[in-house]
Structure 1
Amino acid sequence: MDNKLKKSLKFSLSIAVITFVLAAIFSVISSSVLSGVMWIIGLVIVFIIVFTGVIFDMLGIAATAAHEKPFHAMASEKVSGAKEAIIIVRNADRFASFCNDVIGDISGIVSGTASAIVVLQVVNVLGYSDGSTVQITISVILTSIVAALTVGGKALGKFFAINSSTKIIFFAARVIAWLESTTKIRILSNASSTNKKTR
């Protein structure tokens, strides 16, 4: 088997496992939190989940659109986050896969589950029975709103990701650099171990 194919399969398997674990964790947490709050707070949480998916989708696209060159100049001046930005750009495919496919898809799934919980809460507050016409109507409206915000938000995010990729990736890199220095946990792999590419 080709070495590149082996690496691709290994990465795909690891992403699948990570997605399974994160999806389970986020689903349990969101369900637990939503079951103990008012429906209006639950609705805000749903929108936060949608917004999270939009932001990570924008990050993934920005990584594929960004170029290394600006960050090399920053790295030579030892600007915080420059090295992390280079690593992100060199591993744009993996970074985008994690942001778009893992976090993005999980956000979509969890927001759908959370929306269903909010709908049940609203129906209970209004005093209607489960499966009523009112519940179906509210469910359709909320689902449509979530879908519109998701698609519209990602469309807007793509515009910013393509036109401001350097700024977006540098901001993300600085956040990662801060997290690494604070938690002492290595989030990004070493740049020397990645497949370098010149742009």
Structure 2
Amino acid sequence: MSEQKSRVKFRNMYTNKKVNYLWVYVITVITFFVALILGYISLVFMEKVSVIGALFILLFIVFLGVIFDLLGISVTAATETPFHSMSSGKVRGAQEAILIIRNAGSVANFFNDVIGDISGIISGSASAAIIIKLNETMTIKTTASSIILTSIIAAITVGGKAIGKEVALRHANYIVYRLGILLSYIKKRKKR
């Protein structure tokens, strides 16, 4: 009996697709300005609020990163097929959901990398601002408070993203459908 070599072929719809260098350039510039604006706003607010207020701002930034990570995973995990029948039935948001899924790479890049990663970076600088505030008001060791706060923020971020990924994978089509509805309302407003 001779051994036969089995050839496994995988089909990938992106194999022959050209790299969109314009998108790479645009998203890089957008990321720079979004990070600049969010970083400025968070640091200005950090200086003007109390330590408790700064903690709430920090938790909001972390929560924002977790939510956008969930959205990015949902977009990449969703399937287009159910939205075609919804679209033929004129269900609001179905066509937009198809558009989102067909541009999953760009949409996920924006949600996960632009918003998600910027939130992670800004939460780090916000943690540093809180440490500085704590040092001004209390006499605790800088190193210990810095390590503890950084560890707590990292745990909340990673734990939140782990939960978000589970939710995103289990309910990807529903989440993308809701994004489609939101996009349809935005489109409708633009037409006015």
Matched with 1:97 is 109
1:148 aligns with 155
Between the aligned partners of 1:3 and 1:162, the Cα distance in structure 2 is 26
Partner of 2:137: 125
Task: Answer with 1 or 2: which has the greater Rg.
Answer: 2
Q: Which amino acid aligns with 2:137?
A: V
Q: In structure 1, what is the Cα distance between the partners aligned to 2:184 and 2:132?
A: 42
Distance 1:119 1:177 in 2: 43
Which residue among 174, 180, 183 is the counterpart of 1:173? 180
Q: What is the distance in 2 between the residues matched to 1:24 and 1:158?
A: 27
Please name the residue that 1:197 is paired with. none
Which residue of structure 1 aligns with residue 43 of structure 2?
A: 31
Counterpart of 1:181, as a letter, is: K
Q: Distance in 1 between matches of 2:185 and 2:60?
A: 23
Map of 1:59-78 to 2, 5 A cutoff? Answer: 59-78=71-90
SS at match of 1:148: helix
Aligned length: 176
The residue type paired with residue 159 of structure 1 is E
Residue 158 of structure 1 is matched in structure 2 by 165
Q: Which runs of 5+ in 2 are unaligned?
A: 1-15
C-alpha distance after superposition, 1:109-134 (max 9, x if no partner) = 111111111111122121x3xxxx61
Partner of 1:107: 119
Per mean C-alpha deviation after superposition, the further-off stretch among 86-95 and 171-180 is 171-180
- 1:91 is matched by which residue type in structure 2? N
Letter in 2 for 1:134: K
Match of 2:95 among 63, 70, 83: 83
Runs of 4+ in structure 1 off by over 6 angstroms are none
Identity %: 46
Structure 1 residue 3 displacement after superposition: 7.7
- State the alpha-carbon separation in 2 of the partners of residues 82 and 34 from structure 1: 41
Q: Distance in 2 between matches of 1:159 and 1:136?
A: 35
**Structure 1 segments unaligned to the other structure (5+ residues):** 186-199
Deviations 1:20-63 (A, max 9, x none): 11000100111111111111011011111111111111111111
Farther-moved stretch of structure 1 (70-79 vs 37-46) = 70-79
Counterpart in the other structure of 2:6: none
- C-alpha RMSD of matched pairs (Å): 1.7
Q: Secondary structure, in 3 states, of the residue corresponding to 1:35?
A: helix
TM-score by length of 2: 0.86
Partner-residue secondary structure (3-state), 2:18: helix
